[in-house]
A and B are shown apart, each in its own frame.
Chain A
Amino acid sequence: MDASPGFLIQDDVPAKGPPRRRLPALAFPLSALVVVAMIVAAIAPGLLAPFDPTDMDGDAILRPPCWPHLLGTDHFGRDILSLVIYGARASLLMGGCAVAVGGLAGGLTGLVAGYAGRTMDMILMRLLDIWMSVPDMLLAIIVAAGLGASFGHTILAVGFVTIPRYARVMRAQTISVCHRPFIEASRSIGTSHARIVVQHVLPHTFATMLVITTLGVGTAILMGAALSFIGLGVIDDRPDWGFLLSQGRSYVTVAWWFATFPGLAITALVIAVNVLGDALRNRLDPRLRS
């Protein structure tokens, strides 16, 4: 993308003014376009892909980008463009489901810890400390390996690893809401805990959780791709960008296109998701800005 000054939003807000935009004006629509295209590719890859991703063309092995293989072919003579298009499903599922697992489990943990307080809070927080004492990737690796290699298990592993970050944010949010006077007022007129949580606490944490889960999608996609890159997660022939990269890596000296295009696909998707997450944050929760 071009980053020339004419391309950028020129804001003349004073230094201490409202939050300013740091990204080019086109970043948001472009990202939305990328995400929509990827979702279409994930739902109906057959509509977009010129070839079947399992078709092996014996006459076109490791062919550079040319007609009809626009992004070249791999070591089996499969069409890279079609593989990349069919691979969108795995990455989007990984991003969406892992975040759902981590966000729900983490959100619930944080809610319980923050609302119950005292001993419960202490126990849960110590558990999370232990959790976070194993570096992310290593924990994901042993959980994925422990559950057995399959796509579903890799999703669970990535979700499991990300629980603490959601739990911590949720806990902080819950505690700050619980200190507000209207909660005390609500308690004093005899509202039940369940009702307070559902009616008062959850709505106040929603915006923040939505923002950090959106930003978490990118992280989940990256972690999932890294797991399949080192050979965990993919056991069937389901096209997967991380796995394509690891295969393409072996041919990097003779076929630059093999690893480059799946890599670009991951990068484009994660950038797009992050830009959308940033936009969402600016809109919903400016306080979260770094």
Chain B
Amino acid sequence: MRRIGGALFVIAGTVTLVFLILHWLPGDPAALVAGDTATAETIANIRAQLGTDRPLWSQYVAYIAGLLHGDLGTSFATREPVLGRLWAQVPTTMVLTLFSSAVALAAGVALGVVAAVHRDKWQDRTIQFVLLFLTSLPSFFLGILLILVFSVTLRWLPAIGNGSWRQLVLPVVCLGLITSGRLMRMVRSGVLDVLEEPFVMTLRGKGLRERQVLFTHVLRNALIPVVTVLGVLVGELLSGTVVVETLFARQGIGRMLVDALNVKDIPVVQGAVLLASIFFVLINMMVDLSYGWIDRRVRS
């Protein structure tokens, strides 16, 4: 219950933070909606219509009241409800995020375990080297390299757009690999820690096969701390979708956010950031809650 209350508090704070930051925007959205040829009077009319001429607190109260009714405002650019526009983009971004986290988990756990088991051998060193690259490479550069290799040179996969699963492969690989670095490091050190525990020696002494020790006993314990970084991972994925969707010209929340930013469509920007943040807070709350359930030691 306290966790849920905390999450609600954070969400309320986030709404306020996002609202305040965005209303510093120096550009006048009314002038943008009206176009270059509009007279001062037209702009003033549009401003009144959009409600941007009212004082900040009154806009804030109206915004909060709208939020409580599930109303995220109306897009300045298209005059459609923001929630509807964003909701239409949720599935494509969800698909991208889900598949990317699967790639990140698979790559992170597999490489992390291999590195730990072969500690300080060439496998470990190679993986450490790859890890250094993954944490230092801008996601959009990795994406461009993937496009160069798989679309331009080999012509295996399309570089842009969405629709078929083939168009999903490169964005998912790009986002997944970029976010797998942190997991890889966690899994490696987690497995190393558990391997030093006395019970592992007992198991080996009982004559269990190394494979069995590793997969049924060590991994289960090593993955517990990994759960805590899942929340952070989701944050990285959400941040990554903005760049990856722009790079691969995919539809989605991130792309819509960037497009809305360029035309100063504040309600859409606000809505997109809020949606992502609320999702992020909820995931983190679930991670917190599940941690006590998975690892009984932290319950007390």
A residues contacting B by CB (< 8 A) are 1, 3, 5, 8, 11, 15-16, 20, 22-23, 126-127, 129-131, 133-139, 141-143, 145-148, 218, 222, 225-226, 229-232, 242, 245-246, 248-249, 252-253, 256, 259-260, 263, 266-267, 270-271, 274-275, 290
Contact = CB atoms under 8 A, between A and B. Distances in A.
B258 A230 contact: yes
Contact of B144 (A130, A141, A145, A245): A245
Closest 5 CB pairs of A and B: A137-B239, A130-B13, A263-B141, A270-B136, A271-B136
Interface in B230-274: 235-236, 238-240, 242-243, 246-247, 257-258, 261-262, 269, 272-273
B135 interface: yes
B10 A23 contact: no
Given A143-B21, A145-B269, A146-B23, 5 more contacts: A136-B239, A147-B26, A245-B138, A267-B138, A270-B136
Contacts of A256: 148, 152
A148 B26 contact: yes
B15 to A, nearest CB: 10
A146 B21 contact: yes
Contacts of A231: 258, 262
B224 interface: no
B237 to A, nearest CB: 8
Contacts of B148: 252, 256, 259-260
A137 B137 contact: no
B56 to A, nearest CB: 13
18 contacts: A22-B128, A126-B13, A129-B10, A131-B17, A133-B10, A133-B277, A134-B17, A137-B242, A138-B242, A138-B273, A141-B242, A142-B273, A226-B243, A229-B243, A229-B247, A252-B148, A259-B141, A263-B138
Interface of B: 6, 9-11, 13-14, 17-18, 21-27, 119-120, 122, 124-126, 128-129, 132-133, 135-141, 144-145, 147-148, 151-152, 159, 185-186, 189, 196, 235-236, 238-240, 242-243, 246-247, 257-258, 261-262, 269, 272-273, 276-277, 280-281, 284
A235 B291 CA distance: 46
Contacts of A248: 144
Given A133-B11, A134-B273, A141-B242, A266 B144 contact: no
Nearest to B7: A133
A100 B242 CA distance: 26
B120 A20 contact: yes
Contacts of B126: 3
A142 B140 contact: no
Contact of A230 (B141, B189, B246): B246
B280 A135 contact: yes
A232 B125 contact: no
A147 B25 CA distance: 6
Contacts of A222: 136, 138
A147 B27 CA distance: 10
Contacts of B277: 133-135, 138
Nearest to A137: B239
Contacts of B238: 135, 137-138
A150 to B, nearest CB: 10
Contact of B242 (A5, A126, A146, A230): A230
A260 B148 CA distance: 9
Nearest to A248: B144
A156 B124 CA distance: 38
A147 B24 contact: yes
